[in-house]
């Protein structure tokens, strides 16, 4: 078999066989096929696209290119959750303890943040001593004893995806539905959970800016998961403005804790309830949405979900006292209000720009080697649809440097768009894809 023939076949719009796809994935992972040939194939795929069967085969080949976690010795159904990412997206911090306190086991792989979108691991490391570099034995122990375990993605997990993504990133072939879906799902399948619930974001702060593109991606990923024998459900949610009010690692942890106490922002609660409901249904813990919602509400009202977060933090080496005393979490030296300079309704927020404000304060990474300041960020006081008067507080900046705070404030003003006409609040849940 020759790589030349595979490239030409896909260039001409023909469907690749399983043997051909596995040949190039395995050969490239081992370093036997050069970058320039795989680049040519990625460009051919970009223009000619892939069938559902090709996409499934590519996903499985990438998943099987490294370690496939076997969680079958953990009793019961295990669920994993993945978000396509966004600004202020702290849902895992609430979802995981909430569904675990309802009796569902969560085995989750997470990553660190790069750029202006935060990573779940970075947020959890706001707890003193929290560790995600777990062995497989420690990972399984967490699921068995607490009902939750979270670990960082290892180099052995879907190594083909890591190599292919780096190549796509520099050859302008990232933005293809099959390649995006196979990249995400290869890691989810390799992580070993029985069920997968996906939070697919859409809007100015999401990878998929257009709603129809987000639904198409959700369908592509649920098809892959279900065809692979993993029950997979996707919820398409709004990311046209930051989720919740807090943006920044420790600030988002504090907001998650408030939410587990029943005092979270309305939009954030809606997303958590929608995803949690689908997780309980997927894991056969609840029969329908009504039963699932009742269970989730009870977990918060009884304090069981908050206690589960404390147990989870302690199991992974963190200081559980910070769950009940969030003032012990990292705090910035400066808190500077940003005041409205005009009157009217907030009609739009450039979501990515708010993320960049946090990045400028030190709350994100521009390179993988950068160190994050866990204490900094912003807390929004006004969002889309709210009416503001001159002098009202739009947000509060949490900073450790006046210079960085000034930079972030300038960027913030450019991100907020205020008009005279009344503006509707956006729908948070766009739909569910099975």
Give residue 382's pLDDT: 97
Q: Going by C-beta distance under 8 Å and a sequence separation of 6 or more, which residues neighbour residue 202?
A: 208, 209, 210, 211, 213, 214, 236, 237, 238, 239, 240, 430
Q: Which residue among the candidates 65, 110, 182, 183 is catalytic per the annotation?
A: 183
- Going by pLDDT thresholds of 50, 70 and 90, the confidence category of residue 21 is very high
Q: What is the pLDDT of residues 124-152, one digit of tens each?
A: 999 999 998 888 899 999 999 999 999 88
Q: Going by C-beta distance under 8 Å and a sequence separation of 6 or more, which residues neighbour residue 8?
A: none
Give residue 381's pLDDT: 98
Is 417 an active-site residue?
no
Is 35 an active-site residue?
no
Per the model's pLDDT, the better-predicted residue between 108 and 17 turns out to be 17
Q: Where are the domains of the chain?
A: 3-48, 78-324, 331-419
Cβ–Cβ < 8 Å for 38, 66: no
Q: Which residue among the candidates 10, 78, 81, 82 is catalytic per the annotation?
A: 82
Q: What are the φ/ψ torsions at residue 420 (nearest 5 degrees)?
A: -85, -25
User: What's the rounded mean pLDDT across residues 270-285?
Assistant: 97
Q: Does position 400 have pLDDT exceeding 70, yes or no?
A: yes
When the candidates are 3.90.1170.30, 3.40.50.300, 1.20.1600.10, 3.30.70.20, the CATH number that belongs to 331-419 is: 3.90.1170.30
- Going by pLDDT thresholds of 50, 70 and 90, the confidence category of residue 248 is very high
Question: Which candidate, 159, 106, 104, 154, places its Cα nearest to that of 134?
Answer: 154
Give residue 113's pLDDT: 57
Is CATH 1.20.970.10 what the domain over 3-48 is classified as, yes or no? yes
Cβ–Cβ < 8 Å for 343, 388: yes
Mean pLDDT of the chain, nearest integer: 94
Q: What is the pLDDT of residues 282-323, one digit of tens each?
A: 999 999 999 999 999 999 999 999 999 999 999 999 999 999
Give residue 112's pLDDT: 67
Specify the range with the lowest mean pLDDT, choosing from 165-169, 193-197, 235-239, 361-365: 361-365
Q: How far apart are CA 291 and CA 431, in angstroms?
A: 19
Locate tokens 């890591």: which residue? 162
Quick check: do 3-48 and 78-324 share a fold? no
Is 365 an active-site residue?
no
Half-sphere exposure of 306 (CA within 13 A, CB side): 23
Query: 132-139, long-range: CB within 8 Å, 24+ apart, which pairs?
Result: 132/316, 134/316, 136/69, 139/107
Q: Which residue among the candidates 122, 161, 311, 350 is catalytic per the annotation?
A: 161
Give residue 167's pLDDT: 94
Q: What is the DSSP string of 226-266?
A: HHTT-EEEEEEEE-SS-SSSEESHHHHHHHHHHHHTT---H
Tell me which architecture the domain covering 78-324 has in CATH.
Answer: 3-Layer(aba) Sandwich (3.40)
Give residue 115's pLDDT: 52
In 3-state terms, what secondary structure has residue 63? helix
Q: Does position 371 have pLDDT exceeding 90, yes or no?
A: no
- Going by pLDDT thresholds of 50, 70 and 90, the confidence category of residue 377 is very high
Q: Which residue among the candidates 123, 168, 188, 411 is catalytic per the annotation?
A: 168
Question: Which candidate, 56, 11, 7, places its Cα nearest to that of 28?
Answer: 7
Cβ–Cβ < 8 Å for 236, 207: no
Q: Both tokens of residue 22?
A: 């596995």
Is 186 an active-site residue?
no
Q: Going by C-beta distance under 8 Å and a sequence separation of 6 or more, which residues neighbour residue 341?
A: 390, 413
Is 238 an active-site residue?
no
Give residue 376's pLDDT: 97
Q: What is the pLDDT of residues 68-118, one digit of tens each?
A: 999 998 999 999 999 988 899 999 999 999 999 999 999 988 876 555 566
Q: What are the φ/ψ torsions at residue 267 (nearest 5 degrees)?
A: -65, -40
């Amino acid at each position: 078999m020759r790589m030349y023939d595979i490239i030409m076949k896909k260039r001409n719009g023909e469907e690749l066989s399983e043997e051909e796809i596995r040949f190039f994935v395995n050969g490239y992972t081992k370093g036997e096929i050069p970058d320039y040939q795989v680049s040519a194939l990625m460009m051919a795929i970009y223009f000619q696209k892939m069938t559902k069967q090709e996409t499934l085969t590519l996903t499985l080949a990438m998943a099987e290119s490294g370690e496939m976690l076997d969680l079958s010795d953990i009793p019961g159904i295990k669920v994993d959750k993945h978000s396509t990412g966004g600004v202020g997206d702290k849902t895992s911090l609430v979802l995981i303890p909430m569904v675990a306190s309802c009796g569902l086991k969560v085995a989750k792989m997470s990553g660190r943040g790069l750029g202006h979108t935060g990573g779940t691991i970075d947020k959890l490391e706001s707890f003193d001593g929290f560790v995600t570099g777990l062995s497989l034995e420690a990972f399984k122990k967490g699921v068995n004893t607490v009902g939750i375990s979270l670990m960082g993605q290892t180099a052995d997990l879907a190594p083909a995806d890591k190599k292919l993504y780096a190549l796509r990133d520099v050859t302008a072939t990232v933005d293809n539905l099959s390649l995006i879906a196979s990249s995400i799902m290869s890691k989810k399948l390799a992580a070993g959970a029985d069920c997968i619930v996906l939070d697919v974001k859409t809007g100015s702060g999401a990878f998929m800016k257009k709603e129809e593109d987000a639904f198409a991606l959700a369908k592509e990923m649920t098809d892959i998961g279900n065809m692979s024998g993993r029950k997979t459900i996707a919820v398409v949610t709004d990311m046209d403005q930051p989720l919740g009010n807090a943006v920044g690692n420790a600030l988002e942890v504090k907001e998650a804790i408030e939410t587990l106490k029943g005092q979270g922002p309305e939009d954030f609660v809606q997303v958590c309830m929608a995803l949690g409901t689908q997780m309980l249904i997927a894991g056969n813990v609840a029969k329908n949405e009504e039963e699932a919602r009742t269970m989730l509400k009870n977990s918060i009202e009884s304090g069981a979900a908050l206690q589960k977060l404390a147990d989870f933090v302690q199991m992974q080496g963190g200081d559980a006292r910070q769950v009940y005393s969030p003032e012990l979490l990292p705090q910035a030296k400066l808190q500077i209000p940003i005041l409205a300079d005009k009157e009217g309704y907030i009609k739009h927020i450039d979501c990515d720009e708010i993320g960049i404000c946090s990045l400028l304060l030190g709350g994100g990474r521009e390179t993988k080697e950068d160190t994050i300041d866990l204490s900094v960020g912003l807390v929004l006081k006004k969002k889309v649809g709210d009416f503001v008067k001159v002098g009202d507080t739009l947000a509060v900046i949490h900073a450790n440097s006046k210079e960085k705070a000034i930079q972030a404030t300038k960027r913030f003003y450019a991100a907020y768009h205020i008009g005279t006409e009344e503006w509707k609040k956006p729908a948070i849940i766009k739909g569910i894809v099975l």
